[in-house]
Amino acid sequence: MSDQGNRNPEELKKKYRPLVIQQLQKGGLPQMIKPKLLQIGLSEQDATELINDAIAAAAPTLGPKSVVVRQAAGQPVAPEKKPLAPKSIEVSDAQRQKIEQRKEVQKKLVDAGFNPYEAEKMAHTQVTHAEFEQTRQKLVDAGFSAEEAEMAKSKTTSLLSPDAFAMTPRPKEIDANTNYAGFLDRVVAMLIDGLVLLIPMGFIQVLFFIIPSLQKNPGFGTGLLIIFGSFLQIALQWYYFASQESGLKMGTIGKAKMGIIVTDESGYQISFARASARFFSKWISAMTLMIGYLMPIFTPQKRALHDYIAGTLVIKQ
């Protein structure tokens, strides 16, 4: 995510205010939104101020449900404006405790063999599932229909997912102790990926190169087939590397076997566009007499030339 390293709270509040309003309008509750705001770098006070400001802006579109949202945010509600049943909704103020609990579950999953990203997803689901059920029941008790309560619960589930605010979880905090993948780790991972691509690349080679070249009178059509086969091989390699490095595992099969992942310069999952830039930048690394590939041997963060161009890091888990 591009906001990592941006510690200006006013800029962050300004950027995420429309997203918070949108989540409130879709049924999100403040206590579900605040952890994500804390995660992007806002302080407790700034996150509360942003939520309160968003509630005030979204109030006209929330209708009677604005009472539930205001109560969830700890804001006073005038008795004469309270349209709901007299039962009150208890609001938990233990979000930080839930985060710590989730971290404990995540650590156990990592120790059991799951990678950090999978562990984060599973821990998130396990810790928050019970709270979602309690939220649904509270909404029903407050006067919402079962369908409305279920919809609100599903929206808060979506809000708390790692994809909320287009934000991806940070599998690795970048600091002085970060263990970067070295040149040999990269080479072995590349060899493994080469074996994975061997069969589909060989099939393209036979179909578009060998068979056409065996014709007695190869003509213009044969040349076109060879050119198309070349582009097909490039497209296959591009999609393989870009889709997997930007995917949930944050690395190709070879990188996974070597226990390394590709992140941006703040330790977050990269986008497909950045992964594509990293792939095509490898051609520049190759055109420097392979010096671009050798740069991990002597650069501070063991970055190759294509890592500098794409703004990526290769980290050993």
Residue type, 74: G
CB 278 within 8 A of CB 312: yes
- Provide the residue count of the chain: 317
CA 34 and chain centroid, separation: 18
Residue 89 pLDDT grade (very low, low, confident, very high; cuts 50, 70, 90): very low
For 96-128, write each residue's pLDDT tens digit: 777 777 788 778 877 877 767 667 767 766 666
Q: Which two tokens stand for residue 83?
A: 């349209």
Mean pLDDT of the chain: 77
Q: What confidence score (pLDDT) does residue 165 get?
A: 39
Q: What share of the chain in percent tops pLDDT 70? A: 70
CB 240 within 8 A of CB 233: no
Q: Which two tokens stand for residue 142?
A: 């407050």
How far is 28 from 161, CA to CA, in rounded Å? 12
Residue 70 pLDDT grade (very low, low, confident, very high; cuts 50, 70, 90): low
Coil, strand or helix at 40: coil
Phi, psi of 114 (to 5 degrees): -80, 150
Is 153 a residue whose pLDDT tops 70?
no
Residue with tokens 């977050």: 268
How far is 197 from 202, CA to CA, in rounded Å? 8
Q: What confidence score (pLDDT) does residue 168 get?
A: 43
- 75 or 187, which is more confident: 187
Q: What confidence score (pLDDT) does residue 163 get?
A: 42
Q: What confidence score (pLDDT) does residue 226 get?
A: 83
Residue with tokens 């008795």: 79
Q: Looking at the whole model, is its pTM more than 0.75?
A: no
For 219-249, write each residue's pLDDT tens digit: 667 778 888 888 999 999 999 999 999 998 8
- 317 or 313, which is more confident: 313
For 278-293, write each residue's pLDDT tens digit: 999 999 999 999 999 9
For 157-180, write each residue's pLDDT tens digit: 444 444 443 344 455 667 778 899
Q: Please, how many CA atoms are within 13 Å of residue 303, restricted to the half-sphere of its CB?
A: 17
How far is 13 from 6, CA to CA, in rounded Å? 11
